[in-house]
Amino acid sequence: MLIIHYTGMVSAEAALDRLCDPASEVSAHYLIDEDGTTWRLVPEDRRAWHAGRAFWAGETDINSRSIGIELANPGHEHGYRPFPDAQMKALERLCRDILSRFPIPSHLVLGHADVAPGRKHDPGELFDWQRLAAAGIGLWPDDRPFDLSDFADDMRRFGYENDSAEAVAAFQLHFRPSDVTGIQDDETRTRLRNLIIRAGLA
């Protein structure tokens, strides 16, 4: 799994200090500043403490099964803002490099909010998942209509623990960031079914 986060701190320097401080009990494999500067903090074959309490597709020890990338961004508590082009380009380069060495399926490129709905909201509604998918990293739903099936079953089939409002909102943060309601509307159901079929999970 490849998990993308934002730091939620006022600067990359503050985030770097925290991620490198053993007392903080939090770490990530990489940190990317807004200007594209990239730091490798933990070797990819080592466990980093980036996901915390999380769940995906029946797994709860996400830290042992994923590579974590932190993006410097103040987050919702300190002045959340769009992710600059230089930062996104650096992220694309890094993801391609990681994916060239690890066979991570597209549907397992996720945000922190996906694996910790309600508890976490990063990288948030301003993160450009569609751009990343267009670069061959992760998935994005297309506009094809699909017959709808059981929504709760589809949520679990894709990887979410349940179909709670928090989980639905996490799905929308990733796959419909323009309208995050936490409500199981037809567009959300269709996008989820679309992704399941594209990921070969049907």
Tens digit of pLDDT for each residue in 116-128? 999 999 999 999 9
The interaxial angle of helices 186-198 and 165-175, nearest 10 deg, is: 70
3-class DSSP state for residue 177? coil
Indicate if the pLDDT at residue 201 is higher than 90: yes
Residues marked as catalytic? 70
Indicate if the pLDDT at residue 143 is higher than 90: no
Between the CA of residue 23 and those of 36, 49, 90, 149, what are the distances in Å?
27, 12, 29, 47
Mean pLDDT of 164-173: 98
Structural domain boundaries in the chain: 2-139, 141-202
CB atoms within 10 A of CB 53: 10
Indicate if the pLDDT at residue 145 is higher than 90: no
CATH of domain 2-139: 3.40.80.10
What pLDDT, in 10s, does the model give residues 78-112?
Answer: 999 999 999 999 999 999 999 999 999 999 999 99
CB atoms within 10 A of CB 46: 8
